[in-house]
Chain A
Amino acid sequence: MSLFSLLGAVEIGLIFSLVALGVFISFRLLRFPDLTVDGSFPLGGAVCAVLISTGTNPYVATLAATAAGAGAGLITGWLNVKLKIMDLLASILMMIALYSINLRIMGGPNVPLINDPTLFTLLQPEGMADYVARPALLLVIVIAAKLAMDWFFATERGLAIRATGSNARMARAQGVNTGAMVLLGMAVSNALVALAGALFAQTQGGADISMGIGTIVIGLAAVIVGESILPSRRLVWATLAVIIGAIVYRFFIALALNSDFIGLKAQDLNLVTAVLVTVALVIPQIKRKLSARRR
């Protein structure tokens, strides 16, 4: 595997670690099975790409994309809390609605951003190659997002969101407005996912209507891989684990892409990725068993 391919995996892994952090909030902290992600990821990309290609400053475009994601999360939460639609269905409804909305925003299935200024071209230090600068900048963004999350979920409001997720009845008894907490948590979660979509569009040459397919699966896989590599109940470690999980997952794909030397073909890619992830999940268990037997 070349350095280029390695840094590419880190870069895309870092972008998807923002998705994974968002999925961690909805699935783990709020216990809300949220599929909106498949729509809010391309939503972020769409808003960002359209704004940049019509001449808006990339910073503003990225922020607007993040806000759009928060809006999508709020609507999913609202469908669930106010209209009493089951959580999974509410998120499915929002996901399919976003497909049409994204087409409307983009005015077509694809908005290219190949020669336009992006966050990355603006912030690229002189004399640093873009394939190094991009992951470096993303690392800063992801660490900032992680620290902000660690801080937020330790505040009173953040703790109320976590309480809502672990025991809603108990939280209500303590005077927590659980409905509002679901809305807030979903907004934060989808804002992160849309931010990831905006960064993805800026690094990959544009937004495409198909870019959301399977986002939730990748996000969930990253969360679970991370938890098995670095199991911890403390939030500070858990968010780090999720980020590592997202990057490791991309390494597996990069590895699968390089597996032709053992006679595997392009069509086997998803299978190879699945096998590698399974191995990563099982190894810690075997280790545990072995060390238990030794005692």
Chain B
Amino acid sequence: MKQSSWAPLGAIALALVAAAPLAQAQQKSVAVTAIVEHPALDAIRDGVKASLAAAGYEEGKTLKWQYQSAQGNTGTAAQIARKFVGDQPDAIVAIATPSAQAVVAATKTVPVIFSAVTDPVAAKLVKDWEPSKTNVTGVSDLLALDKQMELVKQVVPNAKRVGVVYNPGEANSAVVVKELKALLPKMGMTLVEAAAPRSVDVGSAARSLIGKADVIYTSTDNNVVSAYESLVKVGQEAKLPLIAADADSVKRGAIASYGINYRDLGEQTGRMVVRVLKGEKPGDIKPEISTKLELTVNPGAAEKQGVKLSDAFIKSAAHIVK
């Protein structure tokens, strides 16, 4: 019995041989991995593929395309990383932080292009935002705050004091506030902070801004987003215009947002992959952030919060909430 119980192992060994990939010389190969299936992450993958196709890399003809999802398991993510490095593709695209870290830990030679990593410097994928001189580059989904503040000026042209409601315990929000403190004076505005350590505090934090701020801006702070309705209530009562960072909050009652379209982020990533396939070294390409942000406008909310939007502005929006 002991002898025969090794049969499954034999079967595996056979299958391994059968699974050995066939080498194809003239094709370029791109291996894509994401930590989990998720609408935003899937949109990035499709965007990468679209960019490759636009540059003449067609799956099955001039491109060997491979996609693996770790289905939420970091152990599997690590194994996918090893498999990809073993396959020696021309480029690996790693979507979201855990997958990117697993791939970067697994290879120092195969080109790696990360995508949707909010802070690649904190995640130690790259040293700074300059060309890394390593095998790693990519696109971050960090929001550029100057563009966000330009939107604030567009919606409320005479705004001088920008109120921000945020959770000081959330690392990303703390970073946003710190950056705003430096940025706003340059644009002739000042920052007014209101802390909401719990989601139930969001309403009272917003109320504390009445009379002290001309407009309220919120980032994608989890506390604020989960209690956005309480912010909307204050905005309507006190005629305090609300500007958000994601389209979903606009649907819930903010006037406008300038947010990331993940399909575009994928296409941007894909264009970077094309540069690598054409022979550029990833270490010479500067990590990027999303360049194409999408405007979402809610004219009904603007009216309730005492703001008159110009028709040209509404027409320039990618999405209009009715």
Contacts and interface: CB of A to CB of B under 8 A. Distances in A.
B102 A266 contact: no
Interface residues of A, number: 59
A236 B104 CA distance: 38
Interface string A38-80: 0000000000000000000000000000000000000000000
Given A205-B104, A269-B71, A288-B1, A253 B79 contact: yes
Contacts, number: 161
B4 A2 contact: no
A85 B79 CA distance: 38
B97 interface: yes
Interface stretch (A22-30, A110-118, A161-169, A170-178): A110-118
Contacts of A283: 7-8, 11
Contacts of B11: 279, 283
Nearest to B37: A267
B16 A110 contact: no
Interface in B21-78: 21, 35, 37, 66-69, 71-78
Given A2-B21, A206-B105, A283-B7, 9 more contacts: A1-B20, A4-B83, A114-B104, A204-B101, A206-B124, A229-B6, A258-B21, A270-B71, A283-B8
A214 B105 contact: no
A197 B28 CA distance: 36
B312 interface: no
**A interface majority secondary structure:** helix
A89 interface: no
Q: Which interface class (under 10, 10 to 19, 20 to 34, 35 or more) fits B?
A: 35 or more
B123 to A, nearest CB: 5
B4 A291 contact: yes
B19 A206 contact: no
Nearest to B88: A2
Contact of B5 (A1, A3, A206, A230): A230
A9 interface: yes
A254 B75 CA distance: 11
